[in-house]
Amino acid sequence: MKKRLAMIVVAVSAIVILAGCAGKVGRARYYTLNLPAPPDPPIAENAHATVAIREFRAPAYLRQKAIVYKPSPEQIGFYAYHRWAVDPCDFVTDSIIDRLGATGTFSHVKRYDGQPDAEYVVSGRLEKLEEIDYDGGVKVEVAVSAQMTRLDTGTIVWSKAVSEVGVVNQHDVRAVVSEMSHTMERAIEKLLTPVPGALPAASGAATNRN
């Protein structure tokens, strides 16, 4: 009986130790991009155009929720325990909405919901958001493209694509994500400069369709 009890104690102890080790090794860490809040929009009495922003798309590998690194131009890797808490596509979409709204160029800026109540629609794509581990040092690359379409005619009135690279001074995932935030800020600023605005109202055509 004592021998059996001792075996049970040893087995339980082993399970506890293994569980503790597994918790340390497999504990996921979650991150999000962090951009400064845009300034309050100026008073724009002559702003009449309305715009809706579709959710930005991205290559499938960027939507796996794991932070991406590239050890070579041909190879893509994923951090097993370092993941995005917020989908980068959602983050970029909301950032574009906030920054276009802050320009005062448009009378209304919102996320596209399929309703024909906006005169212009912006569609975009997050092309790259990854750590680069080749060609010396550690870098991050962010690439974003977008276009604005007049909803009633389907005419593309503006399009642009940008790419930015940032240098990471410390090979640590937190440092990588921090530099991704700085690089994303520059990329979005470059994408929206000049602001895709100064557009005439679409004569109510988009709001009067059945």
One DSSP character per residue, 72-98 reads ETTEEEEEEEEEESS-HHHHHHHHHHH
In this prediction, what percent of the chain has a pLDDT beyond 90? Answer: 67
Going by pLDDT thresholds of 50, 70 and 90, the confidence category of residue 150 is very high
Return the pLDDT at 18. 35
Sign of CA dihedral 31, 33, 39, 42: negative
pLDDT given at position 41: 75
CA distances from 60 to 68, 84, 187 (A): 12, 14, 21
Cα separation, 140 vs 177, whole angstroms: 9
Calculate the dihedral angle through the C-alpha atoms of 80, 86, 89, 91, rounding to the nearest 10 degrees.
-140
CA–CA gap between residue 53 and residue 44 (Å, rounded): 20
Collapsing DSSP states into helix, strand and coil, what is residue 208?
A: coil
Question: What pLDDT is attached to residue 197?
Answer: 65
Domain ranges (residues) in the chain: 28-191
pLDDT, tens digit, 9 for 90 and up, residues 170-188: 889 999 999 999 999 999 9
Comparing 35 with 202, the larger pLDDT belongs to 35
* Range in 10-14, 91-95, 171-175, 197-201 with the lowest mean pLDDT: 10-14
At 210 the pLDDT is 29
Range 28-191: architecture per CATH: 3-Layer(aba) Sandwich (3.40)
Q: For the chain, give the mean pLDDT.
A: 84
DSSP state of 62: G
Q: Give the pLDDT score at 12.
A: 37
pLDDT at 203 over 60: no
For the chain, the distance separating the N- and C-terminal CA atoms, rounded to the nearest angstrom, is 83
Nearest to 162 by CA among 139, 191, 186: 191
Give me the mean pLDDT over the 106-122 stretch: 93
Instruction: Of 23-32, 153-162, 166-175, 198-207, give the lowest mean pLDDT range.
Output: 198-207
Whether the pLDDT of residue 33 is over 60: the answer is yes
Can you tell me the distance from the alpha carbon of 192 to that of 51, in angstroms, rounded to the nearest whole number?
A: 14
Give the pLDDT of residue 2.
42
Crossing angle for the helix pair 88-103 and 173-191, to the nearest 10 degrees: 40
Query: Whole-angstrom Cα distance, residue 92 to residue 33?
Result: 9
Specify the pLDDT at position 25: 56
pLDDT for the residue 75: 97
* pLDDT at residue 208 in the model: 30
Q: What are phi and psi of 98, to 5 degrees?
A: -60, -40
Per-residue pLDDT reduced to its tens digit, 36-68: 999 887 766 677 889 999 999 999 999 999 999
